[in-house]
Amino acid sequence: MDKGKKKHILSPHRLKLHEIIFEADTPFGKLFDVVLLISIIASVGVVMLESVASIKAEYGNILFIAEWSFTILFSLEYLLRLYSIGHPTLYARSFYGIVDLVSILPTFLSLVFPGSQYFITIRLLRMLRVFRVLKFVQYLGEANQLAEAMKASRKKILVFLLAVLIIVVIVGSLMYVIEGEENGFKNIPQSIYWAIVTLTTVGYGDISPQTPIGQILASMIMIVGYGIIAVPTGIVTAEFTKSKNEKISTQACPSCASEGHDHDAKHCKHCGEEL
Amino acid sequence: MDKGKKKHILSPHRLKLHEIIFEADTPFGKLFDVVLLISIIASVGVVMLESVASIKAEYGNILFIAEWSFTILFSLEYLLRLYSIGHPTLYARSFYGIVDLVSILPTFLSLVFPGSQYFITIRLLRMLRVFRVLKFVQYLGEANQLAEAMKASRKKILVFLLAVLIIVVIVGSLMYVIEGEENGFKNIPQSIYWAIVTLTTVGYGDISPQTPIGQILASMIMIVGYGIIAVPTGIVTAEFTKSKNEKISTQACPSCASEGHDHDAKHCKHCGEEL
Amino acid sequence: MDKGKKKHILSPHRLKLHEIIFEADTPFGKLFDVVLLISIIASVGVVMLESVASIKAEYGNILFIAEWSFTILFSLEYLLRLYSIGHPTLYARSFYGIVDLVSILPTFLSLVFPGSQYFITIRLLRMLRVFRVLKFVQYLGEANQLAEAMKASRKKILVFLLAVLIIVVIVGSLMYVIEGEENGFKNIPQSIYWAIVTLTTVGYGDISPQTPIGQILASMIMIVGYGIIAVPTGIVTAEFTKSKNEKISTQACPSCASEGHDHDAKHCKHCGEEL
Amino acid sequence: MDKGKKKHILSPHRLKLHEIIFEADTPFGKLFDVVLLISIIASVGVVMLESVASIKAEYGNILFIAEWSFTILFSLEYLLRLYSIGHPTLYARSFYGIVDLVSILPTFLSLVFPGSQYFITIRLLRMLRVFRVLKFVQYLGEANQLAEAMKASRKKILVFLLAVLIIVVIVGSLMYVIEGEENGFKNIPQSIYWAIVTLTTVGYGDISPQTPIGQILASMIMIVGYGIIAVPTGIVTAEFTKSKNEKISTQACPSCASEGHDHDAKHCKHCGEEL
């Protein structure tokens, strides 16, 4: 963020507001963020409790008021965020800006479409801010490392998912032909659902093969599912191990400033200069 | 493919056809492949929808026509492929040639054996062409790396599978004796099916031990199954880690003959000599 | 433990008692510990058997007497431990001190709250002493290595768990809206329970989606759950591999200062100098 | 095996028999082993089919005769093995000797105890000989590598299993108190069985928690079970990766003949001699 630029745009009290709402360095800023996090958890808790019939029967009114209070609070907060930032459109289009907006919409939508208030659990995504608030910079680093290991193995995982998809569609269709409607395999999409339930070793048992041939095919897909979990695990682990090793290289070349040299390197691998 | 040879064999318009059907470099060739891929997905979708009773009742005729249209299209395409290639028998015997043929047979077979049309989901295997069409050369590389890691650990995985097989047969037989028919273990093959369901941690629950001794034996096989998943995972991971490391070291220094340089290295990291 | 200090505080027969109860080097000390371990297992076994209705009906009296005998024995042992140690409050506040106390409370509590005697299975935690008794020092080392690998990957695992938590709450709420009470998703907390059952690939099948959209969402969370198990596995494995490597390199050569020698090395592998 | 010694003990025709039965280098020896393997698989298949009621009803007599024929054959083979070997007692006490004997007993026992014939699936253990017969020496190497990785991580896995055991006993007891008999948790041993079913992510669903508190505790143990599978996987993978690296060291010291030197070693790490 270019603070120098913002100072020219924002008036002093908007600047003060910006500090409280967007940053966590000042006492008020930190207090604001902590209150916000507690409110988010509380508001999600309210919606959860509202879905329990026995609790709603008894405390329905209180929960209704609480839900609307939180939503109005979050709406005010959203407006203040828009007001106190230099480029409101930039914020509104950012990840957090969209999450903040989506977090307040369900309650308003529930006036038109009853039941949509349950979508406000999406508010939990706002909790990702917890990292910034609690100054868990090292945690952010860990999260980044996780994300990067994921990103680096993205292509391999896509190839793997495509293979899994083709397997479940073909096996699902075969099972539909073998077992048929009388054994719970009502149609191909549902048989594919069964194949996914089986391949991922979840195994609800709401649908299960009854014929000997079906059970043999099911056994085969189970063993495949049991075995190929090794593939994503192997991919991610190799990525983690690699990133671990790469972390060891820290020295920069004094001549060409390139990095990433091995520990035992005596000369820069790019320009040949002694390290 | 030896293009020079083909030019001698094929007449100009067959050559043109070859370019469109078999290659993806020209605009028409690419268009053909994209249309083909969409048709494959659409035709599989049609068969899936046909299996849903409620949809078939209403749109049965349209789906029937659509299925036959796709099959006739794919049949024409298969004939054109045979016509436009230099060595038709070579293509017909290749992996893609067989898949292409098998993809159109089920619809024709369904005239004689109703229900066999559902096997056309095998058409999805044709989607493996997606890699060539979309020029995902790097994805192919990833797929190859996956395949090679699999291949390298082939023997270990076979030994592992043999061990798993012996375990499930012995445990299945024991459970048949312990639990017996009255608890759902109707015969040894079905008890082996149960053992596979349990060892792979799928656990449908359609058959589950009822006697204390059966539950103790089941607990043991569960813990074994939970633990030995570490084996294929360990094998594949070690293979991935290895292939990662191998990608780094190839070149030897011309001056000091040291090895283990990075791919981007221009100078030996030990003596500084240019590589 | 500063034994020199204790000698000043404890009288000779308390010192003798200390040796028997707290240490396992003397024959009596070892005998005491072995008897203690057997008693712990036996007392837990008694409580287990007591919970089986048919066994309680027949041997209820014997089990009742056995349970109280063990509890009185452990109570005496606890008092003797307090008596024979130099700093009773230090012991009472230590991990083992608390476990020892908590292990005898449930039986006494069962006089006031029937059923609380089943909590005495917490006594099993006392079995962690087994390592010291049986001089499995190397096992302790292994346990420490496990614990350290866990500790080192603590932050990554916390980030991972937070992500899992956010996923199950959001998916649980969505499923409640999609499936509703009539399909077993009675309220949001229970839907979250279902999401956890599914994501962890346990899959009881007591609640399972019935609508097509619900089954599609369930399929997605299954594949996510099946895939992301790679993350904790990757983290822990990378940690293990790392700690393995670290165990090798410690000593530097006194002549050429090269590092990375094996533990059993007596000569520098680079210059041949004695280490 | 000390062949020189055997030649003194065995008469020529016993030696000939020994070659056929115990070795697989001569054509007859190989033929014998292949016939034996096929017989083992066939005899296990016969017993499996016998357990299927509908098949037994129709082909009961044939299967009965087949089973006894195989058993008499294997009994003769066992006697010939004893006769043709130099040290019969050594063979009788060896792993294969015991397996060979145990493989024929169930059929004879079934005369006294009906049903015991199903235990002959233990015969499958004889199939481990397949490795020798088919000259899969490299497979044996792979199997050894698997076995060694297991052996090296033995202690860590024992510590892990002890921890798992303590967890399931404590959680099982808690669930018995929380859920009680009315929700299927009939007694503590069965609750422990449930805890194992859940922790290993098998999840039959024959017993599942019904109360909110029970579902919360179940969720916790599921996430623990989902997470700690990383531990054995990490252990075994680290072992595999290690053994991979160790395989690189091949050179023996010319002076002290010690092995296990690193690739970059110029001097023996034990005696300092140049390599």
3-state SS record for A191-213: HHHHHHHHHCCCCCCCCCCCCHH
Spatial separation of the C-alpha atoms in residues A196 and A207, rounded to whole Å: 12
Mean pLDDT, rounded, for C139-145: 66
User: What are the tens digits of pLDDT across the range B3-28?
Assistant: 444 445 578 888 888 888 877 778 88
Task: Say yes or no to pLDDT of C247 above 50.
Answer: no
Spatial separation of the C-alpha atoms in residues B180 and B202, rounded to whole Å: 22
Burial class (CB in 10 A: 0-12, 13-18, 19+), A218: buried
Q: What is the pLDDT of residue D268?
A: 61
Q: Show the tokens assigned to D189.
A: 């041993």
Give bridge partners of residue C274 from the DSSP assignment: C267
* B50/D270: higher pLDDT: B50
Q: What is the pLDDT of residue A255?
A: 63
Phi-psi sector, A184: left (phi>0), alpha (psi -120 to 50), beta: left
Task: Say yes or no to pLDDT of B265 above 80.
Answer: no
Query: Cβ of C113 under 8 Å from any chain B Cβ?
Result: no
Q: How far is CA D175 from the centre of its chain?
A: 34
Query: Cβ of B228 under 8 Å from any chain A Cβ?
Result: no
Mean pLDDT, rounded, for B86-111: 85
Closest CA to A262 of B267, C245, B256: B267
Residue reference for tokens 């909110």: D212
User: What are the tens digits of pLDDT across the range A23-32?
Assistant: 777 888 888 8
* C119/A202: higher pLDDT: A202
Helix intervals (H) in chain C: 3-9, 12-22, 27-50, 53-84, 88-93, 95-112, 130-133, 137-152, 154-179, 188-199, 212-228, 230-248
Closest CA to A228 of D169, D242, C230, B206: C230
Query: Cβ of D113 under 8 Å from any chain B Cβ?
Result: no
CATH architecture label of B145-242 = Orthogonal Bundle (1.10)
Mean pLDDT, rounded, for C4-10: 51
Average pLDDT of chain B is 79
If pLDDT is split at 50, 70 and 90, which confidence band does C272 have?
Answer: low
Q: What is the pLDDT of residue B268?
A: 62
Closest CA to A156 of A235, A77, A42, A70: A235
Residue reference for tokens 């040290």: D87
Give domain C12-134's CATH number out of 3.40.50.2000, 1.20.120.350, 1.10.1370.30, 3.40.640.10. Answer: 1.20.120.350
Query: Cβ of D15 under 8 Å from any chain B Cβ?
Result: no
- Which whole-number Å values give the CA distances from C264 to A186, D261, D268, in the listed order? 65, 11, 11
DSSP code, position D25: S
**Distance between first and last Cα of chain B:** 36
Shortest distance between the Cα of A42 and any Cα of chain D, in A, equals: 19
Do A170 and B269 count as a contact with CB atoms less than 8 A apart? no
Shortest distance between the Cα of D145 and any Cα of chain C, in A, equals: 18
Q: What is the pLDDT of residue B248?
A: 43
CB C120 within 8 A of CB C40: no
Do C244 and D230 count as a contact with CB atoms less than 8 A apart? no
Spatial separation of the C-alpha atoms in residues A100 and C169, rounded to whole Å: 18
> Buried (b) or exposed (e) across D150-181, using 16+ Cβ within 10 A?
bebbebbbebbebebebbbbbbbbbbbbbbbe
Shortest distance between the Cα of D71 and any Cα of chain C, in A, equals: 42
Mean pLDDT, rounded, for A17-26: 79
Which amino acid type is present at position C47?
Answer: V
Q: Show the tokens assigned to B6.
A: 């083909």
Spatial separation of the C-alpha atoms in residues C4 and C19, rounded to whole Å: 14
Query: Cβ of A233 under 8 Å from any chain D Cβ?
Result: yes
Task: Give the nearest chain C residue to D245 (CA atoms).
Answer: C245
Spatial separation of the C-alpha atoms in residues B86 and B15, rounded to whole Å: 9
CA angle A199-A204-A209, nearest 5°? 70
If pLDDT is split at 50, 70 and 90, which confidence band does D34 have?
Answer: confident
Burial class (CB in 10 A: 0-12, 13-18, 19+), C163: middle
Task: Say yes or no to pLDDT of C249 above 50.
Answer: no
Q: What is the pLDDT of residue A4?
A: 44
* Residue B178, number of CB atoms within 10 A of its CB: 19
Q: What is the pLDDT of residue B66?
A: 92
* C260/D11: higher pLDDT: D11
If pLDDT is split at 50, 70 and 90, which confidence band does C244 have?
Answer: low
Mean pLDDT, rounded, for B166-188: 89
Spatial separation of the C-alpha atoms in residues A137 and A131, rounded to whole Å: 7
Q: What is the pLDDT of residue C109?
A: 85
Do A205 and D201 count as a contact with CB atoms less than 8 A apart? no
CB D176 within 8 A of CB D191: yes
Q: How many CB pairs under 8 A join B and D?
A: 134
Q: What is the pLDDT of residue B136?
A: 54
Query: Cβ of C189 under 8 Å from any chain A Cβ?
Result: yes
Give the best residue of A237, A245, A262, A263 to mutate against chain D (max D CB count within 10 A). A237
Closest CA to D122 of C246, B167, C228, A149: B167
Q: What is the pLDDT of residue D214?
A: 93
Closest CA to A21 of A90, A70, A82, A105: A82
Contacts of D124 in chain B (CB under 8 A): 166, 169-170
Q: What is the pLDDT of residue A195?
A: 95
Q: What is the pLDDT of residue C6?
A: 46
Q: What is the pLDDT of residue A7?
A: 45
Q: How many CA atoms lie within 13 Å of D51's alpha carbon, on the beta-carbon side?
A: 28
Which amino acid type is present at position D236?
Answer: V
Q: Range with the lowest mean pLDDT among A150-154, A209-213, C148-152, C247-251?
A: C247-251
If pLDDT is split at 50, 70 and 90, which confidence band does C259 have?
Answer: low
Spatial separation of the C-alpha atoms in residues A139 and B228, rounded to whole Å: 32
DSSP code, position B252: -
Q: Show the tokens assigned to B88.
A: 């038709």
Task: Say yes or no to pLDDT of C246 above 60.
Answer: no
* D244/A234: higher pLDDT: A234
Shortest distance between the Cα of B162 and any Cα of chain D, in A, equals: 9
User: What are the tens digits of pLDDT across the range D184-237?
Assistant: 899 999 999 999 999 999 999 889 999 999 999 999 999 988 888 888 888 888
What ipTM does the predicted assembly reach? 0.78
3-state secondary structure of A180: coil
Task: Say yes or no to pLDDT of D108 above 90.
Answer: no
Query: Cβ of B260 under 8 Å from any chain D Cβ?
Result: no
CA angle B114-B117-B119, nearest 5°? 125
User: What are the tens digits of pLDDT across the range D68-84?
Assistant: 999 999 999 999 988 88
Closest CA to B128 of B113, B115, B114, B139: B139
Q: What is the pLDDT of residue B107?
A: 84
Shortest distance between the Cα of B190 and any Cα of chain A, in A, equals: 8
Mean pLDDT, rounded, for C81-96: 85
Give the best residue of D49, D140, D188, D204 to mutate against chain B (max B CB count within 10 A). D204
Q: Range with the lowest mean pLDDT among B261-270, D177-186, D220-229?
A: B261-270
Q: What is the pLDDT of residue C151?
A: 78
Mean pLDDT, rounded, for D10-27: 80
Give the DSSP letter string of C29-41. Answer: HHHHHHHHHHHHH
Spatial separation of the C-alpha atoms in residues B242 and B112, rounded to whole Å: 52
Spatial separation of the C-alpha atoms in residues B20 and B12, rounded to whole Å: 13
User: What are the tens digits of pLDDT across the range C27-58?
Assistant: 888 888 888 888 888 988 888 898 898 998 99
Residue window 123-142, chain C: list those with CB within 8 Å of chain D: 124-125, 127-128, 138-139, 142
* B139/A15: higher pLDDT: A15
Burial class (CB in 10 A: 0-12, 13-18, 19+), C22: middle
φ/ψ of residue B253, rounded to 5: -70, 135
Q: Domain boundaries in chain D?
A: 12-134, 145-242
Query: Cβ of C202 under 8 Å from any chain A Cβ?
Result: yes
User: What are the tens digits of pLDDT across the range B208-248?
Assistant: 999 999 999 999 999 988 888 888 888 888 877 776 544 44
Q: What is the pLDDT of residue C168?
A: 92
CB B170 within 8 A of CB D124: yes
Average pLDDT of chain D is 79
CB B213 within 8 A of CB B178: yes
Shortest distance between the Cα of C106 and any Cα of chain B, in A, equals: 27
Q: What is the pLDDT of residue D222?
A: 93
CB C87 within 8 A of CB C5: no
Q: Show the tokens assigned to C11.
A: 């009288």
Which residue from C159, C170, C229 is facing A229, i.e. has the nearest CB? C229
Spatial separation of the C-alpha atoms in residues B24 and B35, rounded to whole Å: 12
Task: State the angle between helix axes of C188-199 and D212-228 in degrees (0 to 180), rounded to the nearest 10.
Answer: 20
* C196/D245: higher pLDDT: C196
CB A146 within 8 A of CB C160: yes
Contacts of C187 in chain A (CB under 8 A): 48, 51-53
* Residue D241, number of CB atoms within 10 A of its CB: 26
Query: Cβ of B255 under 8 Å from any chain A Cβ?
Result: no
Candidate ranges A86-90, A111-115, D92-96, D193-197; pick with highest mean pLDDT: D193-197
φ/ψ of residue B274, rounded to 5: -70, 140
Average pLDDT of chain C is 79
Residue reference for tokens 């091995």: A262
Q: How far is CA C22 from the centre of its chain?
A: 22
DSSP code, position C51: T
Q: What is the pLDDT of residue C84?
A: 85
User: What are the tens digits of pLDDT across the range A149-196?
Assistant: 777 777 777 778 888 888 899 899 889 988 988 898 999 999 999 999
Spatial separation of the C-alpha atoms in residues C81 and C92, rounded to whole Å: 9
Show Cβ contacts of residue A212 under 8 Å, excluding neighbours closer than 6 positions. B189
Task: Give the nearest chain D residue to C138 (CA atoms).
Answer: D155
